[in-house]
Structure 1
Amino acid sequence: MLKEFREFAIKGNVVDLAIGVIIGAAFGQIVTSVVSDLFMPIVGAIFGGLDFSNYFVGLSSNVTANSLEAARQQGAVFAYGHFLTVVINFMIIAWILFLVVKGINKLRRKAADTPPPPAPPTKEEVLLGEIRDILAKKA
């Protein structure tokens, strides 16, 4: 059983999947940083200091804080601003993945459109060609 598991774990697909998950996690952090550190401040500046991350509604009367972190410590909150930020993260990731898949599909179509090189002649074809050339010289 251990040998069978080792064969499964070493297969290329498992390793490729693991690498994809690790790269995906790193890519997710990059997108999160782009949204929270670059995109949302610009949106906030355009809309007069709008900061989605601190938009929430307290679900109990105990919540009186002005920041989301402090409000969460006081009680349950409906953090719709954080949700909007996560939705924007998803949209950016989905758009980038769409562009990547579109580029890969374009490359695949281009590769499929190019005809394969002609096969080399068989020994019989070469021999028949030589016979033809010899007969042409005699005539």
Structure 2
Amino acid sequence: MFKEFREFINRGNVLDLAVAVIIGAAFGKIVTSLTDDIIMPVIGKVFGGLDFSSYFIALGPVPPQLRGSTDYLALKKAGVPLLGYGEFVTQAVNFLILAFIIFLLVRAANRAFRKAPETVAEAADVTLLREIRDLLKARA
């Protein structure tokens, strides 16, 4: 069983997949930082607030000690039912950025690895017939 497991792990696809998952996780953190620290504050500023991810609608009663609070995490911790649309928008933008970057990477890879059309060598008899045709045309 250990031998089979070792053969499974040594396949190129498994190792490639493991590397892809690790790089993908690190790349995801970069995109999350780009979204949370650069893009969403700008969008939040345009829509009237600095932290867009904390936009929410309270769907239930708010405890008296938190009345008027805009602290999304504190309200959620207190058990207030919240519709956190700001966090959803943040994650949707994060996904779109990641999907677009992956699209650009795949597109570039496809262009880089595109094979040039191969020229097919003519058969000897076809070449000979072309030469005969050209000689006959030259005589006329």
Question: Above 0.5 in TM-score?
Answer: yes
After superposition, residues 1-139 of structure 1 pair within 5 angstroms as 1-62=1-62, 64=67, 65-75=69-79, 76-109=81-114, 112-113=115-116, 115=118
The number of residues matched between the two structures is: 115
Residue 87 of structure 2 aligns to which amino acid in structure 1? H
Which protein, 1 or 2, shows the higher relative CO under an 8 Å CA cutoff with sep ≥ 6? Answer: 2
How far the C-alpha of 1:50 sits from its partner, in A, is 4.6
Q: What is the TM-score normalised by the length of structure 1? A: 0.74
Give ranges in structure 2 of 5+ residues lacking alignment. Answer: 122-140
How far the C-alpha of 1:115 sits from its partner, in A, is 3.8
> Deviations for 1:9-31, whole angstroms, at most 9, x for unmatched residues?
12221111011001000111100
Give ranges in structure 1 of 5+ residues lacking alignment. Answer: 119-139
- Sequence identity percentage: 48
Distance in 1, matches of 2:59 and 2:2, equals 52
Runs of 4+ in 1 over 4 A off after TM superposition: none
RMSD between aligned residues: 1.9
Distance in 1, matches of 2:72 and 2:10, equals 45
SS in structure 2 opposite 1:62?
A: coil
